[in-house]
């Protein structure tokens, strides 16, 4: 079969893009220092549209809210649907609308951080725009990165999107209750990830039933209480 491949240096705006990525990394570093200074653990949540990112943040906030003050940056093109859901779990939420951009960048997150009471927070979840491609290239400053995938994305979703998994600390394979119906084997997805990076911690979840949330908390290293001054 004929395959047309992208060659390095072929993009029309390659210099512009390198400049942009470097600038983003600098601002991500500033964001990281700001989080560290206030003792906030930042967790970037990435994944496709409909994989369960918002539900994951809702569940984590519900479980961790008793022992930690939780803040959330909710990225979305135009709506506040997810932010409203998460706010009901008691988190301090700021919505970032990216307009036409298909990912959050460190500059937008930096602006969002300025609106949050960082001195009161212990944890900050950032829900990226639903996309498995460019969020991998734009670090936001978070200390940890959680990717939420779903068995409904089919059997080849991991091998087709290697970059995002290289950036992940923890991956949740969600909607495992649908695995048989979708003819997708979660163990095969797990094996695909291990080939990309054997250090990724993989957890199977059924977030609709709140199953696997405690294991995700454990994998993220958030199992012990962290409320400031508690
Ligand atoms: Mg969402
Ligand atoms: Zn993008």
Rounded Cα distance between 94 and 115, Å, is 7
In the reported structure, the alpha carbon of residue 129 is separated from the centroid of ligand 2 by a whole-number distance in angstroms of 8
Indicate which ligand has the atom closest to the C-alpha of 125. 1
In the reported structure, the alpha carbon of residue 82 is separated from the centroid of ligand 1 by a whole-number distance in angstroms of 5
Contacts of 177 (CB under 8 A, 6+ apart): 206, 208, 209
pLDDT value for 229: 44
In the reported structure, the alpha carbon of residue 103 is separated from the centroid of ligand 2 by a whole-number distance in angstroms of 4
Rounded Cα distance between 30 and 206, Å, is 36
Lowest mean pLDDT among 3-7, 45-49, 55-59, 191-195: 3-7
The answer, as to whether pTM is greater than 0.95, is no
Look at the block and give the residue holding tokens 């984590």: 60
State how beta strands 144-150 and 170-174 pair: parallel
In the reported structure, the alpha carbon of residue 47 is separated from the centroid of ligand 1 by a whole-number distance in angstroms of 9
In the reported structure, the alpha carbon of residue 100 is separated from the centroid of ligand 1 by a whole-number distance in angstroms of 16
Handedness of CA 174, 180, 181, 182 (dihedral sign): positive
High-pLDDT (> 70) share of the chain, % = 94
* DSSP string over 116-173: S-GGG-SEEEEE--SBSSGGGG---S-SEEEEEEEGGG-TTHHHH-HHHHHT-SEEEE
In the reported structure, the alpha carbon of residue 69 is separated from the centroid of ligand 1 by a whole-number distance in angstroms of 21
In the reported structure, the alpha carbon of residue 135 is separated from the centroid of ligand 2 by a whole-number distance in angstroms of 6
The pLDDT of 37-44, averaged and rounded, is 98
The pLDDT of 203-218, averaged and rounded, is 97
Lowest mean pLDDT among 15-19, 31-35, 88-92, 108-112: 15-19
pLDDT value for 17: 83
Indicate which ligand has the atom closest to the C-alpha of 50. 1
Indicate which ligand has the atom closest to the C-alpha of 130. 1
In the reported structure, the alpha carbon of residue 128 is separated from the centroid of ligand 2 by a whole-number distance in angstroms of 10
pLDDT tens digits, one per residue of 130-185: 999 999 999 999 999 999 999 999 999 999 999 999 999 999 999 999 999 999 99
Rounded Cα distance between 86 and 15, Å, is 39
- Mean pLDDT in the chain? 92
Q: Which domains does the chain have, with CATH numbers?
A: 14-219 (3.40.50.300)
Burial 120-136 (b: 16+ CB within 10 A, else e): ebbbbbbbbbbbbebbb
In the reported structure, the alpha carbon of residue 62 is separated from the centroid of ligand 2 by a whole-number distance in angstroms of 29
How crowded is residue 13: how many other Cβ atoms within 10 Å of its Cβ?
9
pLDDT value for 30: 98
The pLDDT of 114-126, averaged and rounded, is 96
The pLDDT of 60-89, averaged and rounded, is 91
């Amino acid at each position: 079969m004929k395959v047309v491949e992208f060659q390095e240096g072929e993009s029309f705006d390659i210099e512009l893009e390198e400049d942009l990525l470097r600038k983003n990394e600098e601002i991500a570093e500033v964001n990281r220092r700001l989080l560290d200074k206030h003792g906030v653990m930042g967790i970037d949540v990435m994944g496709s549209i409909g994989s369960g990112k918002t539900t994951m943040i809702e569940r984590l906030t519900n479980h961790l809210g008793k022992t930690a003050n939780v803040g959330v940056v909710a990225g979305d093109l135009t709506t506040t649907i997810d932010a409203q859901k998460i706010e009901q779990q008691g988190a301090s939420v700021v919505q970032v609308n990216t307009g036409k951009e298909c990912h959050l960048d460190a500059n937008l997150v930096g602006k969002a951080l300025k609106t949050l009471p960082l001195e009161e927070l212990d944890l900050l979840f950032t829900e990226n725009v639903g996309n498995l491609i460019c969020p991998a290239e734009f670090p936001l400053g978070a200390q940890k990165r959680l990717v939420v995938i779903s068995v409904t994305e089919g059997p080849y979703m991991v091998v087709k999107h290697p970059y995002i998994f290289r950036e992940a600390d923890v991956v949740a394979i969600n909607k495992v209750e649908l695995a048989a119906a979708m003819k997708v084997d979660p163990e095969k997805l797990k094996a695909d990830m291990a080939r990309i990076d054997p250090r990724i911690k993989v957890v199977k979840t059924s977030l609709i039933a709140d199953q696997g949330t405690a294991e995700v908390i454990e994998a993220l290293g958030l199992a012990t209480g962290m409320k400031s001054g508690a």
